[in-house]
Each structure stands twice: as structure tokens, then as C-alpha cells.
Structure 1
Amino acid sequence: MILTITMNPSVDIGYSLDTLQINQVNRVLEVSKTAGGKGLNVTRVLTSLQAPVTATGVLGGELGTFIKTELEKLDVTEAFLTIDKPTRNCIAIMHDDGHQTEILEPGPSLTKTEGEAFLSHLDAILSKDITTVTVSGSLPKGLPDDFYVDVVRHINDSGAKCILDTSNKALLRVLESNTKPLIIKPNLEELEALLHQSLPTTDDQIQALHDNLFNGIDVIVLSKGKQGALVKWKDSIYEATLPSVTAVNPVGSGDATVAGLAFSVNQQLEPAVCIQTAMTTGVLNAMEKQTGAINRDNFDDIYRQITITQVL
């Protein structure tokens, strides 16, 4: 069973407008509302892959109830910790021929007691045949920057594999600790920020993946968007080349990549197959209008068009 963790979920609201007019009344042409947050994007893709998955994190208020209802519609097992503070909205306004303006609420502020309650809640879930865990997205306000260190420690202690997809201080604190996940998935911008340097060439990027900051991490998936990915898998380096496709909505492709990693690692597939699967789900997400969605019928066709080369 795969477990996804979303500590700062949201109800994602999409508004479509011909033109966004400031200081004017804007009448929306189309509205969408979905259960949002990086981990829930992972959850939806895993569901499309027919993988057994449970979703957890923290939810509260009417919006939290909405998210639970949406997950029930997908037949997803949810095991969220309920708090007495409302889950946030995140609004994306699509306008003016492809432009997108986002309005993101900060979400609830969690107390130390609520953080400790989640860790106890997590332990109870991990005792139920969980073999792979994805930890995605930002931390809610109130929790310390090193909270994911505790989360990863609890996962490792359970014997499950941990895939961590976060950034900034939350990621740095884990990398600086003695508690390491199996896999991390920074994009190029995040990698450059971690190392405080520009990495314009493939050689620069490969060298960066060997930086001492990443000691103890078995797998680093460096996502480069349309340019594919570089992957350090233990002592080997792989390069993934992607096909050219019509991108409808690339938002969430990184989360879909995490889902593909979790799906394949959970089956203990060979590294090249794991990478090819992850790249496939990432590309498939970009081909769909909804964030965190893939068309399973297109999987084999895209998979065949992705090239994985071991370069070191």
C-alpha cells in the first residue's frame, strides 16, 4: 500500500475569463473545484494507475469536508487528521489567452500539539501494511522547518520507503539531518537554490548531484521540465529524454512524476524502468486539462517514446 502525505492541502478553484479586468466586475465563464495540494495530485495519479493508495495529512472545516467527499468519489481511502481550523482555498484565474493569475490562501496555523498529534496519527497508519510513502508540498504555518525530519524518521522506522518532494528550508533541514528519505525530486531551480550556484550545463548538474549535501540519499531525480531529467540512482547517473507533446496544463507534472516513482518503486522495478514510468506519468499529466490527472489509455504510447540513457 502507498501512503501520500499532504500537510497543507487546499480546495483548488479554477476560474476561466476572457479578460481579467482590475477594479471591474469579472463574470466567470467556467468554474472548477478540486481537492488540491501536491500530495493529493499524487493520489489522483496513483488512483488512475490502479495502485492501492491511502491519503493522509490534516484537514478542517467545510473545505476539509469537501476534500474528503471528493476523495470518496474517487474511491480513495482517506485517513486525514481532523483539526478545528479550516483548510485553505487556492484560486487560479485563467485569462487573456493562456495567462494564469493565482491567489493562494496561507492555510491554517498548526500548534506544536497538533504537529505531535499528526506524528502519532501517522504511526498508527504506518502500522497497516504501508510499504511506500510520498511526502509532498509545503508545511503549514506554525510547524517548525524541521518537521519533515520527524516525518521521515517515523516513515524510516516503520520500514517503508520514503519519497520527499518539498523545497526551501523544509528540504534543507532534512538534507542537513541524519534522517534521509530514499528519494528526493528537486527541479533545477530548487537545486540551484540549495547549492547557491547556477548550473547551466549537464556536466554542472551531474557534479551538483554528487554534492556532500546529498550524502545518504539513494536517489535524486532532477526534474528539468521539457528537457527531461537527470537521475542519480546510487552510483549511477541516468538521463531521461522526453517526446514533444502538446502541453495543455503542465501544472502538477512534478507531482505526477512522484506518483510514477512511488508506483514503480513500490513494485521494486529496475531503476531505468522506475525512471521511465515516472517520466511517462509526468508527460501524461501535461497533456490533460486537470491538474494531477492522466489518461491511462495513453500510457504505453508515451512510455515507448521516452529514452533512458545511463551516462555514468
Structure 2
Amino acid sequence: MRALTVTLNAALDVTYRVDALVPGDTHRVTEVAVRAGGKGVNVARMLCALGVPALATGLTGGAAGQVLREDLDRSGVPQAMFPIARETRRTVAVVTGSGEATLFAEPGPVVTPEEWSGFLRHYTELAATADVVVLSGSLPQGVPDDAYATLVRLAPVPVVLDADGRALSLGAAAGPAVITPNRGELTAASDVDDPLALGAAAALVSDGARGMTAHTAGGVWTAAPPEVVTGNPTGAGDAAVAALVAGWHLPWPRRLAEAVALSAAAVRAPLAGDFDRAFYDQHRADVTPRPVPED
């Protein structure tokens, strides 16, 4: 299984750790971490940790983009980022001693029509070498709202789409294999109860700490984490996507269980893109999906 992950709005992730976050106050940061980020980058990082070959691509530029690419190379995550003129954005996560995370996300660079056309050619070449494609995250300025729909149609292999807003609704209508919204994103994208009505073959819907529900043509299943987990939830959704890809050929109930377990393990890790392997190995068999009866 070879995965291509796409992060159009890649980011240089900065994590600050503080004792407590008090609006309007001065804070002394106890720890700083800087690493390559963005949802697809996080997925690629976790797939590599799971032993699944993955290649990360997307749009990067400027000094921040250079640092991002160097971090991936240093971390052993293969990358084929496409260069753009404007500066890659930064995201700042402020994590308190209790594990509560507050995220500040810059809007991202402006992508020119010429850069977008160049990336489409780049992407088409890379997708031809993959077994599955993952499209994740927000869209940078200048990229059309139907960007993910275009990438779904260009891919010769199954696509997992993790997006929100119009990028989700338009992308899902192009027929990806799986969409992975949380409950709020799904509600915002559609007024129908069945997420498959958006156009994807399957949907993995997250309800946060309550777990996830898999909607498929063969049935609907739900599963919850093996125990209450506290920590940094920033990369939990990316972990679920990584688990789906790593378990691509498993039956859906088992794929759901793996997604819930890896997502919980990611919450226990201090940085997005990592997971608590001991927790994952110990509890992955403890997640028991339950079928949801049809109405």
C-alpha cells in the first residue's frame, strides 16, 4: 500500500507549552517545538511510523517552506513538495498544563493560477504511482473552491478526503472513496442525515471524545475510545485518516476500531503527527464497534 498525501495549505507548526492560558495576560513559555505540519503532512508522518510507505506533497514557499521541507527530510518522511513564491503559513498551538490546546492558524499564502496549474501536473504524475491518495485540510488563497473535486477526478486510485465547508461538499460530490468530517463539519456541509448523500462511497464521522461512526454501503457502525483520554487533540483526526489508509483492506468494523484507537493514541502525544505507540498497541484490540440499526 503506497499512499500519497496532499496538503495544499501546508504549515510550519509551532507548539508553545504554558502552565495556563489567560486572555490579556503575559505568558512564560516553558517549551517550544517547531515542525512540518498541515493535516496531510501529519497523516504521512504517522503512516511512516506505522510502516506504510507514504509520500507527502503540497504547496510550500519562502523560508518557512524551506524549514518545513528540511524537517520532513530530517524526520525520514519522503516529500515532493511543489514550490510557490509566497510564504508558507504558520500555525501556533498553545497547550496548557491540563492538556487543553488553543490553535492559531494563519490563512496561508496566495497561490497564482500558474502555480495551481503546475501543481496539477505534478500531482497527476505522483498519483499515478500511488495506491491511495489522501487530500487533507484547508485551501490556500487563490486555489478554487472545487480544488479537491478536481484532484479526486484526476486520481486513478481511491481517495480519502478530509476537508470542511465548500471544499468538502464539492469534493465529496466528485465521488471519493471516503470522507472524514467531524459532526460539526458534516452538519455545515449538508442538511441531510445520511453523509453518503454527499457523494462519497463511505464516511467516517467523528464525534470527538464520544468516538466515531462509519457509514458504508454495507452498514453503519459506531465505536468509542477504550477509556477517557486527555491531552492534545490537534492531530486526532489525522490519526484516524492514517489508520484508515493503513488498514485499507480490512473489513470496515476493524478499520473503524483502528481509527478510534490511533486517534486516542494521538491525543496522548504532545505534538500533532505523533501518537503514543504503547497506548495504541495496548488498547487497539479493546475497541469494539457496534452496528447501528437502520431507521
TM-score between both structures, scaled by the size of structure 2: 0.92
Aligned counterpart, 1:145: 145
Q: Matched residue of 2:220: which SS?
A: strand
| Partner AA of 2:214 in structure 1 | V
Would you say 1:194 and 2:189 are equivalent positions? yes
State the secondary structure of the residue aligned to 2:193.
helix
Letter in 1 for 2:209: K
Structure 1 counterpart of 2:17: 16
Rounded to whole Å, the distance in 2 between the matches of 1:44 and 1:74 is: 8
2:290 match: 309
Deviations 1:83-134 (A, max 9, x none): 1211111112335755544332211111122111111000111222x00111
Q: What does residue 40 of structure 1 align with?
A: 41
Residues in 2 aligned to 1:21 and 1:257: alpha-carbon distance in whole angstroms: 31
Structure 1 residue 208 and structure 2 residue 193: aligned? Answer: yes
1:199 aligns to what?
Answer: none
> Does 1:282 find its partner at 2:263?
yes
Q: Tell me how far apart the structure 2 counterparts of residues 101 and 272 of structure 1 sit (CA, whole Å).
A: 32
Distance in 1 separating the partners of 2:19 and 2:212? 35
Cα-Cα RMSD? 2.0
Amino acid at match of 1:47: C
Show the 5 A alignment for 1:230-309: 230-265=213-248, 268-309=249-290
The alpha-carbon distance between structure 1 residues 111 and 236, as it changes in their structure 2 partners (threshold 3 A), is same
- TM normalised by structure 1 equals 0.87
Counterpart pick for 2:161 among 164, 171, 177: 164
Are residue 70 (structure 1) and residue 71 (structure 2) matched? yes
Q: Give the letter aligned to residue 193 of structure 2.
A: A
**Secondary structure, aligned partner of 2:240:** helix
* Distance (whole Å) between structure 2 residues aligned to residue 54 and residue 16 of structure 1: 30
Q: Say if 1:300 and 1:115 are closer, same or farther in 2 by CA, change over 3 A.
A: same
Shift of 1:64: 1.0
Structure 2 counterpart SS, 1:292: coil
Change (3 A) 1:98 1:50: closer
Distance 1:46 1:210, change over 3 A: closer
Cα displacement (A) at 1:39: 0.8
Query: Which deviates more from structure 2 when the two are superposed, residues 297-306 or residues 50-59?
Result: 297-306
Do the aligned partners of 1:245 and 1:287 also contact (CA within 8 Å) in 2? no
Sequence identity (%): 32
Q: Which amino acid aligns with 1:226?
A: A
Give the C-alpha shift of residue 311 in structure 1. 2.8
Instruction: Give a deviation string over 1:119-155, Cα, whole Å, max 9, x none.
Output: 1000111222x00111000010111111111111111
Alpha-carbon deviation of 1:161?
Answer: 1.2
Instruction: Assess, with a 3 A threshold, how the Cα gap between structure 1 residues 47 and 251 changes in structure 2: closer, same or farther.
Output: same
**Match of 1:168, as an amino acid?**
G
Distance 1:11 1:242 in 2: 30
CA distance in 2, matches of 1:40, 1:210: 26
Does structure 1 conserve the Cα–Cα contact (< 8 Å) formed by 2:186 and 2:195? no
C-alpha displacement of 1:49: 0.4
Letter matched to residue 162 of structure 2: D
Distance 1:125 1:257, change over 3 A: same
**Aligned position for 1:90:** 91
Between the two proteins, the alignment pairs up a number of residues equal to: 292
The whole-number CA distance in structure 1 between the counterparts of 2:222 and 2:24 is: 48
SS in 1 for 2:121: helix
The residue type paired with residue 220 of structure 2 is I
Q: Does the residue aligned with 1:5 lie in a helix, a strand or coil?
A: strand
Deviation per CA, 1:191-241: give whole Å up to 9, x if none: 221234xxxxxxxxxx81266x324x2211111112111111113111113
Aligned: 1:183 with 2:168: no
